[in-house]
A and B are shown apart, each in its own frame.
Chain A
Amino acid sequence: MSFAVIKPGLETSVQDWPGRYGYWNQGFPPSGPMDSWSFRLANLLVGNPAGAPGLECQYMGPTIRFDDQTIFSVTGADMQPTLDGAPVPLWESVTAQPGQVLAMTFAKLGTRAYVAVAGGIEVAPWLGSRATFHKAGIGGMGGYALKAGQTVPTGEPAPEAVAGRRVKPEARPAIATDRRWEIEVVPGPNDDWIDAEGHHRFLSADWKLSGKSDRTGFRLDGPDWTSTEKAINKAPEHGSLPSNIIDQGYPLGAINLAGQTPIILVNDGPSMGGFINPYTVPQAAFWKLAQSKPGETYRFKAVTVAQAQAMARSLSALCAEASITQA
């Protein structure tokens, strides 16, 4: 079974969840879907395991033609999906007949949409995962995002795959309509390099998401950071800027301070480097990053490790059959 890529969209790629684990010490980031909430529910709607390979669409969605009768779902951003021109509901499993065309355009609300097909996408795995790191040419379709003219292989649908399954509205991520997002952050690892005024400034300012943001990093515009003694009086091999440190591993979600510019390291971000990470965005807040647009505003809220882990548990509980009803 398969579908054909008619138009690829801006950057549409195969992802699986939780992505590529086990190769961090060779410099491979996990990749995977940035909004794993929408991604997991898309899969459950079509009877797939939550982590099965599906498509992540960014900003401008693709146009695909199903070669077989297929049960599919679209979740996340509203890219105004149509099937042979007729609107397709988001957050619901839908049947396509052979030859029908699913077209998606620009995101009206949110930024990243997810398409799951019953049976999942069956490209060969790269180092144990089908997740794509497009810039490095790893994973997915031959290492890269989708290209026009490709045929994407898909698997056998599970017997549970039926149309008309819908995610309860209260179980869907609430994409901000007022261009403002509250993003949870856990202080650390290098929070002791920033002074009290610097912390206060970070947590009380409006930060703007820069257009120069992609799956390797989300760049933020906002006020300056100020440092503690530790950042200024240090061995010369750390480097000369207050934000320079001897090269260290970067947690996924780290707010990496390159000079005065914070860059949130997301799914295809660097695994290590020589800048400090005063805060880290926990996994359960990644869907907010995924659905925000350049020019929108972030306000950061400090939470503890325990609170961040509780958020992840709550999110996993929502990505379950209990969130789905038969329409």
Chain B
Amino acid sequence: MGTEIRTQTAGNVWKVLVQPGDVVAEGDVLFIMEVMKMEVPHTAPVAGKVSKVHVANDQEGLDADAPAVELE
């Protein structure tokens, strides 16, 4: 049963730090959003392997609670 990491806020994606196939530890930063010129890092809630990435560098105007990264 996989884990879905969703956007915690509306805003832009500043940097995506992982791609499918990457193995991440709990707490690793997966991507960083930017809102009100502030950085909002999104971390892996558990260890796992990245299966899907729905976000891209410099992607603009995302909603909150949008699917962003999936771990197997």
Contacts and interface: CB of A to CB of B under 8 A. Distances in A.
Interface in A289-312: 293-296
20 contacts: A10-B9, A10-B40, A59-B10, A59-B36, A59-B64, A106-B7, A106-B9, A106-B65, A107-B64, A108-B64, A211-B12, A211-B34, A211-B35, A211-B60, A214-B36, A293-B63, A294-B35, A295-B10, A295-B61, A295-B62
Contacts of A106: 7-10, 64-65
A11 interface: yes
A135 to B, nearest CB: 10
A205 B61 CA distance: 19
Interface string B10-32: 11100000000000000000000
Contacts of A211: 11-12, 34-35, 60-61
A212 B9 CA distance: 14
Nearest to A211: B12
List 6 tightest A-B contacts by C-beta distance, closest first: A295-B61, A106-B64, A211-B12, A214-B36, A293-B10, A59-B9
B45 to A, nearest CB: 15
Nearest to A11: B36
Contacts of B1: none
B39 to A, nearest CB: 11
Contact of B38 (A10, A108, A210, A294): A10
Contact of B35 (A59, A105, A108, A215): A59
| Most chain A beta carbons < 10 A, residue from B8, B10, B11 | B10
Given A59-B10, A59-B11, A294-B10, A108 B60 contact: no
A3 B39 CA distance: 27
B36 A107 contact: no
Contacts of A58: 36
Interface residues of B, number: 18
Interface of A: 10-11, 58-60, 105-108, 111, 208, 210-215, 293-296
A306 B5 CA distance: 50
Interface of B: 7-12, 34-38, 40, 60-65
A294 B12 contact: yes
Contacts of B7: 106
Contacts of A295: 10, 60-62
Nearest to B61: A295
A211 B35 CA distance: 6
A58 B40 CA distance: 13
Contacts of B9: 10, 59-60, 106-107
A298 B52 CA distance: 33
Given A10-B36, A60-B9, A107-B10, A294 B64 contact: no
Nearest to A292: B10
B52 to A, nearest CB: 21
A294 B11 contact: yes
Contacts of A213: 36
Nearest to B14: A211
Given A59-B9, A294-B12, A212 B37 contact: yes
Contact of B65 (A11, A59, A108, A208): A108
Contacts of A111: 10
A60 B61 contact: no
Contacts of A11: 36, 38
Nearest to B13: A211
Contacts of A107: 9-10, 64
Given A293-B61, A294-B60, 18 more contacts: A10-B9, A10-B35, A11-B36, A59-B9, A59-B35, A106-B8, A106-B9, A106-B10, A106-B65, A107-B64, A111-B10, A211-B11, A211-B61, A212-B34, A293-B63, A294-B10, A294-B35, A296-B61
